[in-house]
């Protein structure tokens, strides 16, 4: 599915993207398909959407498959990388994109289960998926891992997302550590720190809430999933960047 207009050459690279049935993940797998990658589309509940993305990539001459798992469930989570490798014979890239704050309460009333669920999805899952990927990439003499973080790390989140920002902060620490350990094996690990982006997270917010948040952004607009996806694909195609955090946040 190589597209002559694409900015990236990822022909034949086998790349798994978590949380790929919508938002940043969807934009990423579509762009990877255009760049010639062999794409793994992970989803939790949105089977119809994942299948639609897969069929569109296939119809354009690309290669893609869907993989289902609840990443907060260890038994389910631990099946997707082996399933991907069984299907495609290896793993050249992993994008830990799936993530969101869990729960509706604000600090100081955040519940223990909201904390647990947020950390399970946003740091426990990327840690153990990366651990699996790292082992595979060692045996292949190289690979790329891109972790998607949040601008909330920079500001400590909000009253409703402080636990989410904490989990993403841990993800950034994991990234730096893995980059150091991966260098001798040519495993490159980086962070894309997404700012306010036009995804499902903002769909239940009021117009006033969105406008107030946009005013804090120097570029005065919400970001597009495609803009974050382009940075992810750039890092997946680059050969001399590791251990770095790149913010796609309109100047925040």
Question: Which residues are annotated as catalytic?
Answer: 164
d(CA 94, CA 97): 9
What b/e sequence results for 64-94 when a residue is b if at least 16 CB atoms lie within 10 Å of its CB, and e otherwise? bbbbbbebbeeeebeebbebbbeebeebbbb
Contacts of residue 235, Cβ cutoff 8 Å, sequence gap at least 6: 144, 146, 188, 190, 192, 241, 246
User: Which residue from 65, 129, 57, 136 is spatially nearest to 95, judged by alpha carbons?
Assistant: 129
* Sheet architecture: strand order including 245-248: 63-68, 38-43, 14-17, 93-96, 143-150, 187-194, 245-248
User: Which residue from 110, 212, 197 is spatially nearest to 159, judged by alpha carbons?
Assistant: 110
d(CA 113, CA 116): 5
């Amino acid at each position: 599915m190589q597209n002559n207009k694409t900015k990236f050459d990822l022909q034949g690279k086998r790349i798994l993207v978590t949380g790929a049935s919508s938002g940043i993940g969807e934009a990423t797998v579509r762009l990877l398909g255009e760049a010639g990658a062999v794409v793994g589309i992970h989803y939790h509940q949105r089977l119809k959407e994942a299948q639609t993305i897969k069929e569109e990539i296939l119809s354009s001459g690309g290669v893609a498959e869907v993989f289902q798992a609840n990443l907060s469930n260890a038994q389910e989570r631990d099946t997707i990388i082996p399933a991907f490798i069984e299907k495609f014979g290896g793993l050249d890239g992993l994008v830990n994109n799936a993530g969101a704050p869990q729960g509706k309460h604000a600090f100081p009333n955040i519940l223990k289960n909201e904390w647990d669920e947020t950390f399970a999805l946003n740091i426990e899952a990327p840690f153990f998926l990366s651990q699996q990927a790292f082992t595979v990439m060692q045996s292949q003499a190289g690979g790329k891992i891109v972790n998607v973080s949040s601008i909330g790390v920079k500001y400590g989140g909000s009253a409703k997302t402080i636990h989410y920002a904490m989990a993403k902060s841990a993800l950034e620490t994991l990234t730096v550590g893995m980059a150091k350990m991966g260098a001798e094996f040519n495993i490159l690990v980086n962070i894309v720190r997404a700012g306010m982006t036009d995804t499902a997270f903002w769909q239940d917010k009021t117009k006033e809430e969105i406008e107030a948040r946009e005013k804090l952004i120097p570029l005065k607009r919400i970001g597009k999933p495609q803009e974050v996806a382009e940075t992810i694909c750039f890092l997946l195609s680059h050969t001399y960047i590791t251990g770095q955090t790149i913010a796609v946040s309109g100047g925040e």
